Every structure is written in structure tokens, then in C-alpha cells.
Amino acid sequence: MRNITFIAAGVLLVPMAWAPGQMLLSRSIPCAYLPGTTLDITVTLTLEGDGTLTGLGLEETLPPGWTFNALVDGDVPDIYPTTPVNFIEFLWDPPSSPVVFTYRVDVPPGETGQKEVSGKALYRLQGVTGEQQTDITTSPVNINGPLVLSRFTSSEYVEGTTLDITVTLALEGGGALIGLGLEETLPVGWTFNSIVEASPDLSLYPTTPVGFLEFLWDPPSSPVSLTYRVNVPSGETGQKEISGRAVYRLQCITEEQQTGVITTSIGEPPVLHPADLNGDWRIVLGEAIAYLAGWQQGTNPIGHAIRAAYLWQNGEGYVYDAGQAPPMCWVLSP
């Protein structure tokens, strides 16, 4: 409708120019995506200003490989895809304003990184010639996680002492954690000792010397850093392993998620051959003869004496192989 301005006494002035309304498009994607699942997208179309809609459509372009799944709720369009397409067309007949509706898309497995959903509205107004359209609106979509677990500790343990273990948990990409826990399995006979440092603070952790450890953060956050101390029993030898996984929940995702099991190997400290008196990882002639003399006197085991002679005769240099029992654990240097 055109507005006409009057002055007193009914004298007509100048007609004011009529400006047709404009369609506004907005898109809401409240959740980050999780590869191999679905994602809901809400679109709002609003005519601002004067005018009567005589046609209304929407074109949406999904990331490569993503496809339309279904309408979820809201102002359902009269025309929409019936197959899993990547370029989506919606149509309302008769048109109205505002329009708010939600549709669902399939996210393929193996997706990584940030993606984009883009689209524009096309519309017609009564009294306005030609089809109108909004600018293309682009919405970024972040990946939901994943959560990455890392574990750091000394490469060696000392029997009968303690060992500190540091675990970090970080949510890579987008998304919001609504639950976070950690399960750690120690070598047989090893037990929990204490919490050294935790950031943020833990809401649940072991209070007894157990070998299967459970930690919980409530509320959860990312990143997380945890250092805990364990007891290494006396008499331990050989290579050991600490394994564990994080379990977590993400906003908008029904199923519980978990990292893969991460295993960390820890070896016992390298042990010198008892004939190596100066600790230089070499058995020289004098050391081999002295150790053999000790065997002849009944103080040194014959196996160790023979091994000392073997190392001297074959290059002198040697290393410790924790995977073998003495005296075969002392092998020639590579």
C-alpha cells in the first residue's frame, strides 16, 4: 500500500515512495557434527517491511557427501526432497511469514574439519515484478570432538618405588562435553597411590590402592590434565604396560563416546653386567678375567662369567635387553 501525506485543510502533498519488504534468512545449527550420524538444521524466514508474499522457496547446499534425511518439525514446506540429495529445494504454497522449520541431514563417516552449509531464499511479492532473493547465507559447522587421550611417564620404572603418570584429554574440533571419565589399568600388582595434580579438579578418583582406576570430572571441561602416582611393587622386572581409555558424552549426541584404548610401555632401568666395574657398557679384557677369577673362587655365577667372556671376545660393547632373563639379557651392541 502506498502512503499519502496530507496537510491541514485537506491539501494533498506528495505521495511517499513505497518500499517493498525484504526477506531475511537465518540458520541455526546448535550442535557440532559427529561423523557417521545425523545433524539437525533450523531455518527461519521472515518478511520485514510491507508487502504480501505470493511465492516462497529455499535452496540449501550441504557439504560434499552430506545428504538430506528428513523434515523434523516446524512450518513444513509443501515441496521438499524425497531422496537423499545434497542440493535441497523447499517450497511453501501458499507462502507465509515467518517460516521456522527444522530438517535433518546425514553426515558420512570419516568427515573431518570444519564444514559449511549455505543457501538463499527466493520469493515473490504482490505488486513487485520479478523474483526476489536474499543474499547467500553461509553457516560454519564444526566437528563434534573427537576427544584425544595422551599419556606421559618415565620410560623406566624402579621396583619398590613410585611412578608418576600424566594424562591429558583434549576435545579437538567443536562440540560441548556433558560427561567425562577416564579408566586406567595398571600392570598386575601395581596400585594407585595418590593424585599429584589435576586441572580441573576431579569429582571422583580412587581412595584405595587399586589396580583399575576410575576418574570423573563433573562438570566436564576440555582440556584436562591429570598426574597421578602409582606404587611399583618390589621385585618387578621386565617390560610393563599401562592402558586406558576416556569415556565421554557430547551435547546433542545420545550415545556415549569413547577413545580407543591407549597403551604405554614402561621398561625397567637398564642393568649393568656385574663384570662392568666402571659402568661404561663395555667388558674389556681385565674385567672379563677378574669376573672369571671370581667364578673360580665360587663368588660369581658361571653363566654370568661365560657371558662376560662372550661380550669381551665379540666387541666389548653391550646393551641391556629387559625382555630376556640374565645372563642372556646382556647382548652385544648393535
Q: Over pLDDT 90: what percentage of the chain?
A: 79
| CA–CA dist 100, 43 (Å, integer) | 6
Q: Lowest-confidence range among 3-12, 25-34, 58-67, 241-250?
A: 3-12
- Domain identity same for 306 and 242: no
- Domain identity same for 118 and 23: yes
**Boundary-marking domain end, from 141, 156, 184:** 141
- Domain identity same for 14 and 121: yes
**Boundary-marking domain end, from 79, 106, 141:** 141
Predicted pLDDT of residue 18: 53
- Give domain status of residue 196, yes or no: yes
- Domain identity same for 303 and 248: no
- Give domain status of residue 278, yes or no: no
Counting the structural domains of the chain, the total is 3
Q: Is the pLDDT of residue 243 over 90?
A: yes
Q: Is the pLDDT of residue 41 over 50?
A: yes
- Taking residues 88-104, what's their average pLDDT? 96
- Give domain status of residue 64, yes or no: yes
Task: Identify the residue whose cell numbers are 538430506.
Answer: 68
- Give domain status of residue 271, yes or no: no
- Give domain status of residue 106, yes or no: yes
Predicted pLDDT of residue 4: 40
Are the CB atoms for 326 and 303 separated by under 8 Å?
yes
Predicted pLDDT of residue 19: 66
- Domain identity same for 84 and 103: yes
- Taking residues 13-21, what's their average pLDDT? 60
- Taking residues 302-324, what's their average pLDDT? 93
Predicted pLDDT of residue 257: 92
- Domain identity same for 71 and 168: no
Mean pLDDT (the chain) is 91
The CATH number of the domain holding residue 76 is 2.60.40.3670
Q: β-strands 22-28, 147-153: how paired?
A: unpaired
| CA–CA dist 33, 113 (Å, integer) | 10
Q: Is the pLDDT of residue 80 over 80?
A: yes
Cell of 282: 663395555
Q: Is the pLDDT of residue 298 over 80?
A: yes
- Give domain status of residue 272, yes or no: no
- Domain identity same for 40 and 134: yes
Residue 162, H or E segment = strand 162-171
Bigger pLDDT: 284 vs 154: 284
- Taking residues 122-144, what's their average pLDDT? 94
Cell of 263: 597403551
> How would you classify residue 160: left for phi > 0, otherwise alpha for psi between -120 and 50, otherwise beta?
left
- Domain identity same for 157 and 260: yes
pTM for this predicted structure: 0.65
Residue in 142, 58, 50 with CA at minimum distance from that of residue 93: 58
**Boundary-marking domain end, from 141, 164, 190:** 141
Predicted pLDDT of residue 167: 97
| CA–CA dist 163, 199 (Å, integer) | 19
The CATH number of the domain holding residue 169 is 2.60.40.740
Q: Is the pLDDT of residue 2 over 50?
A: no
Q: Over pLDDT 70: what percentage of the chain?
A: 94
- Give domain status of residue 317, yes or no: yes
Where helices occur in 108-238 by DSSP H, the ranges are none
Q: Is the pLDDT of residue 322 over 80?
A: no
For residue 303, the enclosing domain spans: 285-332
- Give domain status of residue 275, yes or no: no
- Domain identity same for 14 and 90: yes
Predicted pLDDT of residue 92: 96
| CA–CA dist 274, 69 (Å, integer) | 71
